[in-house]
Amino acid sequence: MNRKHFIALAVAASFTAVAPSTQAGSVAGFGGSTEITQLANNVELVNLYLQQVQSYATQLQQYQNMLQNTLNIPAQVWGAIQADLMGVANVVRQGQALAYSAQNIGTQFQNTFKGFSYPQGFNFKTEYRNWSRATLDGIKGAFEAAKMQADQFATEEGVLIGLRSQSQSAQGQMQALQVGAQIAEQQVQQLQKLRQLMMVQMQAQNSYLAAQEQKDAASRLALDDFFRFSDPRQGSTNFRGGSR
């Protein structure tokens, strides 16, 4: 006999004890068949009451779970990614650097690195200084961008601490999903910062490569102009020095 039926039998027996006695004939040698029938009815009634109470308890637990699963996190943690990205984008735009974030990067590049040509008023010393300045400013901006992101580690660690705390204290499915969404957001932000550092690195490297190529092109053009070939049958020298 399980516990529920034992309780039901005990309650039914108590009901029978206080019920008025009713005389009846003997059944199979047992007296008072009416009392036995009443006891069985009381047991069945108590079982029904217990089932109903258990059903109410189950429904109450379901409602409690539903309420718990719809609770929102009071204060969700999001990083200031837009401000961080804009800070790096601004720091690389300094001096004569060819910044990836410049609006007129194409025009600025063409004005700085003119390729295999001598524009009007070309001065090798001045142009060499401009190429050097653009390269150094680009490298300087890359260093400052890296430092700026390094300074953001403390803020990012604070965000991670908040997420750990929320993950450990999450109540219900909704809060667990919200913590997961915040963690996913942080992963996206870190990828954005990584992409930005890669762009800064490309900016510094490509500025250096462009300056080297421009110097080589200018030197080749100067040599070609200096040793320009002329037809000896015209009575001129084979090589002509000087500028164009």
pLDDT tens figures, 122-173: 788 888 888 889 899 989 989 999 999 888 888 888 888 888 888 777 777 7
Of 8, 38, 9, the closest CA to residue 23 belongs to 38
Encoded amino acid at 173, one letter? Q
Cβ(81)–Cβ(189) under 8 Å?
yes
Tell me: do 106 and 173 sit in the same domain. yes
Would 148 be classed as within a structural domain?
yes
Q: How many CB atoms lie under 10 A from the CB of residue 166?
A: 20
Distances, alpha carbon 215 to alpha carbons 113, 150, 210, 241, in Å: 9, 34, 9, 20
Torsional sign, CA 31, 36, 38, 42: positive
Give the domain-ending residue among 30, 45, 69. 69
Give the domain-ending residue among 69, 89, 119. 69
Q: Which domain holds residue 89?
A: 81-240
Number of domains observed in the structure of the chain: 2
| pLDDT category of residue 27 using cuts at 50, 70 and 90 | very low
Instruction: Mention every residue, 6+ apart, whose C-beta is less than 8 A from residue 240.
Output: 226, 227, 228, 230
Q: pTM of the full predicted structure? A: 0.58
- Alpha carbons 18 and 237: distance in angstroms, whole number: 141
Would 225 be classed as within a structural domain?
yes
Cβ(215)–Cβ(114) under 8 Å?
no
pLDDT tens figures, 82-111: 888 888 888 888 778 888 888 888 888 888
- Alpha carbons 62 and 194: distance in angstroms, whole number: 45
